[in-house]
Amino acid sequence: MNNYFNWDYEELYKELQTNKEGISDSQRSQRLIDYGKNTLIENKKKSIPRIFFEQFLDVLVLILILAAIVSFFIGNGESTLVILVVILLNALLGTLQHLKARQSLESLKRLSAPYAKVLKNGVVTELPASEVVIGDVLILEAGDVVAADGRVIESFSLQVNESSLTGESESVTKIEQVLEEKKLPLGDQKNMVFSGSLVTYGRGKVIVTATGMQTELGKIADLMNTTQEKKTPLQVSLDDFSKKLAVVILMICGVIFLLSLYRQMPLLDSLMFAVALAVAAIPEALSSIVTIVLALGTQRMVKENAIIKELKAVESLGSVSIICSDKTGTLTQNKMTVKEIYCNNRFQKSKEMSFKTSVENYLMKAAVLCNDSLTLEEKQIGDPTEIALVNWAENYGVDEVELRKEIQRIAELPFESDRKLMTTLHQVEDKNILFTKGAPDVLLERLAFSETEEGIKPISNEEKERIKKANEEFSARGLRVLGFAYKERREKGELSLVEEKDYTFLGLIAMMDPPREESKQAVEDCLKAGIKPIMITGDHKVTASSIAKELGILKEGDEAIDGRTLNEMTDEELDSKLDKISVYARVSPEHKIRIVSRWQQKGHIVAMTGDGVNDAPALKKADIGIAMGITGTQVSKDAAAIILTDDNFATIIKAVSNGRNVYRNIQNAIHFLLSGNTAGILTVLYTSLMALPIPFAAVQLLFINLVTDSLPAIAIGVEKGNHMVLNTKPRNAKENILNKKLLKAIFIEGGLFTICTLLAFYSGLKAGGAQVASTMAFATLCLARLFHGFNCRGEESLVKLGLFTNVFSILAFILGVALLNAVLFIPACQQLFNISPLTIEQIATFSLLAFLPTCIIQLIKGIKSL
């Protein structure tokens, strides 16, 4: 199915861009979204018949339709009916599997704010977001969703969460600034707010600079429009195979038709003879089998926390060679955590504090009291760094709520980005104490004393230097560092900024969003499987590099670059360094698309993970888009082919393993189908060249293709996975699924079946004439293919695979034999399928000949495994 940006929508989009009506940008955007929503509803109605009829456009299906028409005109109604049933079943299955809805614009609409507070003539008015225009002044408060892009003209500790655009969960502090910063990454534009982001703290005023499709959110929607999806390697391979097979079939059928006329056979008989060969040659069950195998693969992957939205993604996973992963929440826990402390002139792990000294106790109190995060009914609200401080204290049994009740806040000086400090005043016992936290370099200049386990003493330059080096060491490892200090307040009156001096130093607390425990092993598995993991994040380069090194993504000799450096590189320069760049930091949506495109230009199959609106275009551009199910926005989920229900990078590796196994099963199923069909082609071709009777009736060939093709092939498709597939490199996406090794096996095995089928044919011809010969050939080929289902389960012999490890193969064989016996021995079925009654000796003959190829194949496999 197409998305909103198709059909008449493109014309409406162009018309509204010209803006002949003079309407506002927001109104234009709203009309686009409304039209998109209505179009989706209409297209859902149109899509079912449209997709259904598209199933008949395949060349191989058209040949089958031609066969049905010919059968009808020559009076063979049974063949016509069976052919049409097969075609309709395939079309219905294809329609059911491919119906899907694209709802990206509807999701973008849900992200936009329905109302906005606008300052007009000194009065605050609440307006629908669609009526906001450039030049309006928005009033923003904590909890508001920003209705448009705008420049901050007044800020009172305004903090905005831009994770839906940047992918980073940490709120950004906004300041009043005149300078233009449009060339900076979104997270660095401190004086701008963007549509769809959430105000988490403070308040402010913003003058609107862009609305509707001109906002950053709108630009991402436009990127979704211009980004096109790619066919998977299997789609390309099967399309190529279908075209070539169709050409070969038509040429052979044409030759057979001319030979029949040369032998002076009636025109309609000659035509039916050619049609019989076409029916024998076409693996009409192939598309259905592939779809069923992919569908079964998706069910297995759901159990591994991966929801597959598009069946083709299952197969593509098997050839993934590049995984571009977001950092926050995918490789990391998406939860700021206190890692290390610098206190008492020494470094300590966060879990190694003893709190036997007053300085450590005061540091803990400062972390909880000088803190605006809240815990409401098991839910924590606030800045991630402040939540991390509270969680750290709770690990040592400190109850945040009880401590704040016991030591209540009297006054405060809120955090401001220009001074980079926050101060709160509390009564501790009989003293008024100021607790201050902030940037270590700023706090360092305001220190007069230092407290250690030895007591309080004036701070020396040497000690300040040690604190500075500790901060630099933490920062170099990608940790976020906060400094803490306190002082006893002796002044009276209202708390003022001038009091933020002469502090006693308590310590430094370093935090980070730690890697998931399983991520390191997943990266190792990734590298072992020949897949290059790449981190693409909106975070700072130092932080991203630190995490990447810890996980094994950034190795010796690899590079980490940021968005600015990427902007300065030409495509040729980027291509020359592509193999060495493992980390991309501070990137925009356009950067992500560019990175994916460059890898694709080199012939790689690329998987891309993401959770924000900013990730959606790249998710769509990648061969496989993987969205986060927990933290992901609806837009990213709509654009992706796979959704992870646990937001875990390790799940991707499990999905890759599953994808490789699915591809192997599909290849084995194709092996099974084509080796049997090859036998049918060679048998018909031989009898034609030797001027023998037609070996199969068309209805018999359809029985073989429908019953003895489908049942074993489906059983092969559910063969259990093998974890050893991760020890091999990804397959070459350009390699045809019918490689030389597979083609060789198909023709050798097809030749074996042909020999045994012809031996049965000659035996029947000698004993009872053409109809008995046809019955013997039909029964032999049919039973031989049922046995062959066991051969195609894998490359190993049944001794190694285990006969009963795949119960579905046993069931397929039993059911196939039961249906074959029904055709051979029930009178009504004998008449429908042109079957001649057989003697006990003839039954024993075709059974032995049918089993012989499997004995030979298993013997060869057993010898190879020695």
Reported confidence tier of residue 15, pLDDT bands at 50, 70, 90: very low
Domain boundary among 226, 244, 261: 226
Per residue, the 3-state secondary structure of 470-515, as one string, reads HHHHHHHCCCEEEEEEEEECCCCCCCCHHHCCCEEEEEEEEEECCE
What are the pLDDT digits (tens) for 223-243?
555 544 455 556 666 667 767
Instruction: Please report the pLDDT score of residue 699 as a whole number.
Output: 75
Residue 751 has pLDDT above 90, yes or no: yes
Instruction: Please report the pLDDT score of residue 95 as a whole number.
Output: 65
Query: Which residue in this structure is represented by tokens 């057979």?
Result: 256
Helix (H, G, I), strand (E, B) or coil at 647: coil
What are the pLDDT digits (tens) for 553-567?
999 999 999 988 999
Q: Any residues with CB less than 8 A from the CB of 560 and at least 6 apart, and which?
A: 541, 544, 545, 548, 554, 581, 582, 583, 584, 585
Question: Which tokens is 462 given?
Answer: 């040497």
Give the total residue count for the chain. Answer: 866
Helix (H, G, I), strand (E, B) or coil at 602: coil
Alpha-carbon gap, residue 548 to 557, rounded angstroms = 13
Residue 364 has pLDDT above 90, yes or no: yes
Per residue, the 3-state secondary structure of 665-714, as one string, reads HHHHHHHHHHHHHHHHHHHHHHHHHCCCCCCCCHHHHHHHHHHHHHHHHH
Same domain, yes or no: 454 and 496: yes
What are the pLDDT digits (tens) for 106-162?
443 444 445 788 887 778 888 877 788 888 889 888 767 788 888 888 887 788 877
Q: Are 597 and 618 in contact (CB under 8 A)?
A: no
Same domain, yes or no: 199 and 322: no
828 inside domain: yes
Same domain, yes or no: 200 and 329: no
Instruction: Please report the pLDDT score of residue 403 as a whole number.
Output: 92
Instruction: Please report the pLDDT score of residue 260 as a whole number.
Output: 72
Q: Any residues with CB less than 8 A from the CB of 43 and at least 6 apart, and which?
A: 1, 2, 7
Helix (H, G, I), strand (E, B) or coil at 418: coil
Reported confidence tier of residue 351, pLDDT bands at 50, 70, 90: confident
Residue 295 has pLDDT above 80, yes or no: no
Instruction: Please report the pLDDT score of residue 293 as a whole number.
Output: 74
237 inside domain: no
Closest CA to 663 of 209, 234, 81: 234
Helix (H, G, I), strand (E, B) or coil at 445: coil
Which residue would you say has higher pLDDT here, 393 or 493?
A: 393
CA of 422: how far to CAs of 369, 500, 734, 866, in Å? 11, 9, 59, 74
Q: What is the mean pLDDT of residues 331-355?
A: 87
Same domain, yes or no: 572 and 675: no
Helix (H, G, I), strand (E, B) or coil at 849: helix
659 inside domain: yes
Q: Which of 326, 615, 623, 709 is catalytic?
A: 326
Same domain, yes or no: 341 and 474: yes
Cβ neighbours of 577 (radius 10 Å):
11
Q: Are 506 and 484 in contact (CB under 8 A)?
A: yes
Alpha-carbon gap, residue 838 to 771, rounded angstroms = 11
Same domain, yes or no: 532 and 490: no
The CATH number of residue 124's host domain is 2.70.150.10
What are the pLDDT digits (tens) for 240-289?
776 777 777 778 777 777 877 777 767 766 666 676 666 666 666 566 66
Domain boundary among 455, 483, 511: 511
Half-sphere exposure of 827 (CA within 13 A, CB side): 0
What are the pLDDT digits (tens) for 564-588?
899 999 999 999 999 999 999 988 7
Instruction: Please report the pLDDT score of residue 553 as a whole number.
Output: 94
Question: Which tokens is 813 given?
Answer: 């064989």
- Residue-wise burial string across 149-169, b where 16 or more C-beta atoms lie within 10 A, e elsewhere: bbbbeebebbbbbbbbbbbbb
Instruction: Please report the pLDDT score of residue 74 as a whole number.
Output: 66
Cβ neighbours of 492 (radius 10 Å):
6
Instruction: Please report the pLDDT score of residue 613 as a whole number.
Output: 65
What are the pLDDT digits (tens) for 185-222?
555 577 888 877 778 777 888 988 888 767 776 666 55
Positive or negative, the CA dihedral 780, 781, 783, 785 is positive
Same domain, yes or no: 536 and 575: yes
CA of 709: how far to CAs of 59, 430, 675, 789, in Å? 20, 88, 11, 9
Q: What is the mean pLDDT of residues 734-754?
A: 88
Same domain, yes or no: 487 and 351: yes
Q: Are 597 and 311 in contact (CB under 8 A)?
A: no
| Angle of the 216-226 helix axis to the 104-111 helix axis, nearest 10 | 180
Q: Give yes or no: 326 in active site.
A: yes
Alpha-carbon gap, residue 112 to 122, rounded angstroms = 25
450 inside domain: yes
- Residue-wise burial string across 344-362, b where 16 or more C-beta atoms lie within 10 A, e elsewhere: beeeeebeebeeebebbeb
Domain, as residue range, for 778 = 280-305+655-864
Q: What is the mean pLDDT of residues 393-419?
A: 87
90 inside domain: no
Percentage of the chain beyond pLDDT 70 is: 78
What are the pLDDT digits (tens) for 35-57?
443 433 344 444 567 767 766 76
Same domain, yes or no: 611 and 662: no
Residue 775 has pLDDT above 90, yes or no: yes
Q: Strand pairing of 480-488 and 503-512?
A: antiparallel
Same domain, yes or no: 734 and 681: yes
Question: Which tokens is 296 given?
Answer: 């079964």
679 inside domain: yes
Alpha-carbon gap, residue 282 to 572, rounded angstroms = 46
Positive or negative, the CA dihedral 42, 43, 46, 47 is negative
Q: Tell me what the pLDDT averaged over the chain comes to.
A: 80
Instruction: Please report the pLDDT score of residue 122 as a whole number.
Output: 77
What are the pLDDT digits (tens) for 691-728?
888 888 767 877 887 778 778 988 898 888 776 778 88
Same domain, yes or no: 643 and 664: no
Q: Are 614 and 591 in contact (CB under 8 A)?
A: no
Instruction: Please report the pLDDT score of residue 443 as a whole number.
Output: 94
Count of domains observed in the chain: 4
628 inside domain: yes
Residue 840 has pLDDT above 60, yes or no: yes
Reported confidence tier of residue 165, pLDDT bands at 50, 70, 90: low
134 inside domain: yes
Instruction: Please report the pLDDT score of residue 23 as a whole number.
Output: 46
Same domain, yes or no: 707 and 730: yes
Q: Name the DSSP class of 332.
A: B
Helix (H, G, I), strand (E, B) or coil at 456: strand
The CATH number of residue 637's host domain is 3.40.50.1000
Domain boundary among 647, 680, 706: 647
The CATH number of residue 503's host domain is 3.40.1110.10
Position 488: which residue type?
A: E
